[in-house]
Structure 1
Amino acid sequence: MILRIDHVGFATEEPEAAAAAMSALGLGREHRGTAEAYGVTCDFWAPGGERDSTAIELVSPTRPDSAVSGRVADGGGGLYHLAVEVDDLVAELARLRKEGFHPMDREPCAGARPGMRVAFVYAKRPVGLIVELVQYDS
């Protein structure tokens, strides 16, 4: 079951410039991490830097073949994905496949936050939306 919107991800090659924009909006960096499987660094920004708030994630490539390299090369960055927290990552992945979402990951991977596991799916039609399913260790 989907529990809540965890974060909205934006791809950028300029995380420090984007950080200035996040600060100007009154958001605080609550976590910085790396998702090695995807070749990205992730900065999570939230009101007051609070962990339990819906966050903005700035996703930056750490290598030429990263998950966001094509996105930042084509358009310079921008909206990348919507992340939802789920109570059972494997079950939600299977359910969304049945609903027509295309899996981008063969199996869940470690995310950029401690205790975070993720898997991405894609809804090509009608909106071209990448959705990140997120589950945290209890």
Structure 2
Amino acid sequence: MSGMLEHVNLTVRDPEATAALMGRLFGWSVRWSGTAINNGHTVHVGTGDQYLALYTGPGGAGAQLPAQDSYSQLGGLNHVGVVVDDLDAAEARVKAEGFEPVNHADYEPGRRFYFRDGDGVEYEIVSYV
């Protein structure tokens, strides 16, 4: 038996803004948008078979408070990994959006860097070429 990761569901301040950022950074598109659990709102953004579900509660943008440091919180989300073909071009797009790439590493099986978005979600951007 094998499985494939289909999606990760994240709580963000503004699902539309985060989806637009993912589109600019990774070329992803919105797959679905609508009402979600507890009268919240969700936007699914990604590819045809993998995506991020971006959720905000009924209070909308700004209603959520940032979580504690995920690395010291049991069950915390540490980062979301995204594979790109051109790491340097991806880093340029991340910088153009005003985010700071950190923790650059070049080791098998690829090169990578990390950044945190405006909601504090950490992304690992990796290239295997």
Instruction: Give TM-score, length-normalised by structure 1.
Output: 0.39
Q: By percentage of residues, which structure has more strand?
A: 1
Decide which structure has the larger Cα Rg and report it: 2
If asked which structure has higher relative contact order (CA below 8 Å, sep 6+), I would say 1
